[in-house]
């Protein structure tokens, strides 16, 4: 019974490789069915995002498990095995557990502290659970990982500060307006960065979008995406009076918005605050506009400065998060160790012995006239009964230990006998040999006289 993760990510493989090994939602069930059909693989979860593809499995043998995982990815996606192996990484045992917990807590993400990964891990686990590809260990592992991720987000500030240019712009806009609900944004240009910034603004409350672009058709396409309005590039300054937030990113070699333009706009707006985000290089907006009353203007360097400051704050939070993760890994590892046959048998024997001694002691107090020989006989008799009752379950448990699904029997036994997590040392002597009992010593005999 071994936990193994095999994968590749933005750290180990270029995008042209990552895009060849993705597992879209519609093929996950089929892929999991094929994967768990390998003799060495007992449980499996496939995590597939734009930045990583990782497969978590429970395998009966580490080497065979790794070999089957490599073969599965190679065969399923039609990639030459030798080429694939250059990019794959493996983790096993406690390192695999730690890796999943760090991934779920966004400590291994391209953007430290990003919020999407926890939902992606949950979706991956849900898909595997519905496909009946998980059982005792991965069910507990992934639920515990999600708990660890939740603790990191609630007990640290790892996700509090904006660490992308587009989202930093939104955070600055919130400082100007407190809330973006009901605000209007104007987009000057139609590039990827301006579109991403607009998406964040709309997600945070902006409800009206005005779009202008030198190519009017492109402005219409982008405006339709936000149910907005496209306006001719030649007239955009006239429409700016209706905008609370202006995002500009064109390829113009000079300023397209000057101080004189904004002076007129602010007069028509009766000096209501306006917020400019100039993402263009060279800049589109004359920085002198920031000297006007209630005009707030930021360029790409301003946004980068905010991002770098926030990244440092997230790194500080990450140090605290690592401690949370390590504690949760220790908790899970303790539970996992309890699934081993030897400590489970030892605990079962100990619990049975404790019951035997307690019951024998209670009844011997009602029989004060028994001789030492009688007490020793009763002690041996009850010990023999306990050993004979436990003999077959213990033998069967040891037989199951090397089976593919052996840990399921251990888990069932622990549940039926209400065995708590803990460590025990199995007595390797004959199963008829009992633990030394204080009942057999002279002090107990004297107490019952």
What six digits make up the tokens of 368?
């004060």
Enclosing H/E stretch for 274:
strand 274-278
Q: Name the DSSP class of 131.
A: T
76 vs 93: CA distance, rounded Å: 25
- Cα 172 from chain centre: 29
Residues in the chain: 449
Contacts of 393 (CB under 8 A, 6+ apart): 348, 413
Contact 188, 249 (CB under 8 A): yes
User: Cα dist. 282→119, 200, 203 in Å?
Assistant: 38, 24, 28
User: Would you call 400 a catalytic residue per the annotation?
Assistant: no
Tokens 């490599």, residue located = 70
96 vs 101: CA distance, rounded Å: 9
Q: Tell me the helices (H) and strands (E) count for the chain, helix number first.
A: 17, 10
103 vs 109: CA distance, rounded Å: 7
Of the residues 27, 50, 115, 281, only one is catalytic, namely 50
User: Cα dist. 93→4, 56, 146 in Å?
Assistant: 7, 11, 18
Torsion over CA of 171, 173, 176 and 181, rounded to 10 degrees?
Answer: -100
- List, by residue number, the catalytic residues: 50
């Amino acid at each position: 019974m071994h936990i193994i993760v095999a994968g590749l990510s933005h750290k180990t493989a270029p995008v042209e490789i990552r895009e060849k090994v993705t597992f879209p939602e519609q093929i996950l069930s089929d892929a999991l069915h094929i994967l768990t059909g390998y003799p060495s693989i007992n449980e499996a979860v496939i995590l597939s995002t734009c930045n990583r593809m990782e497969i978590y499995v429970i395998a009966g043998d580490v080497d065979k498990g790794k070999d089957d995982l490599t073969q599965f990815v190679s065969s399923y996606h039609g990639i030459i095995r030798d080429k694939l192996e250059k990019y794959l990484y493996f983790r096993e045992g406690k390192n695999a557990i730690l890796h999943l917990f760090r991934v779920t807590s966004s400590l291994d993400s391209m953007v430290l502290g990003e919020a999407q990964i926890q939902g992606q891990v949950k979706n991956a686990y849900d898909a595997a659970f519905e496909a009946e590809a998980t059982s005792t260990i991965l069910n507990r592992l992934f639920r515990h990982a999600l708990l660890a991720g939740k603790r990191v987000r609630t007990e640290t500030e790892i996700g509090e500060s904006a660490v992308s240019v587009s989202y930093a712009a939104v955070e600055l806009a919130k400082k100007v307006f407190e809330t973006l609900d009901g605000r209007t944004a104007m987009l000057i240009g139609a590039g990827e960065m301006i579109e991403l910034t607009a998406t964040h603004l709309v997600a945070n409350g902006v409800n009206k979008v005005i779009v202008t672009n030198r190519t009017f058709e492109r402005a219409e396409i982008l405006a339709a995406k936000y149910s907005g309005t496209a306006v001719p590039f030649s007239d955009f300054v006239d429409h700016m009076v209706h905008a609370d937030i202006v995002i500009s990113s064109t390829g113009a070699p000079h300023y397209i918005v000057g101080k004189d333009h904004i002076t007129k706009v602010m007069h028509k707006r009766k000096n209501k605050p306006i917020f400019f985000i100039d993402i263009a290089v060279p800049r589109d907006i004359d920085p002198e506009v920031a000297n006007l009353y209630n005009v707030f203007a930021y360029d790409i360097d301003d946004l980068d400065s905010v991002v770098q400051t926030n990244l440092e704050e997230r790194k500080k939070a990450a140090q605290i998060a690592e401690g949370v993760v390590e504690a949760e890994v220790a908790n899970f590892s303790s539970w996992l160790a309890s699934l081993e046959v030897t400590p489970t048998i030892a605990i079962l024997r100990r619990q049975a012995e404790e019951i035997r001694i307690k019951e024998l002691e209670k009844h011997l107090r009602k029989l004060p006239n028994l001789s030492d020989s009688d007490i020793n006989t009763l002690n041996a008799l009850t010990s023999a009964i306990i050993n004979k009752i436990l003999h077959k379950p213990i033998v069967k448990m040891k037989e199951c230990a090397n089976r593919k699904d052996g840990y399921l029997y251990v888990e069932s036994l622990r549940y039926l006998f209400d065995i708590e997590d803990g460590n025990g040392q199995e007595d390797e002597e004959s199963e008829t040999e009992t633990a030394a009992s204080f009942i057999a010593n002279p002090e107990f005999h004297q107490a019952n006289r």
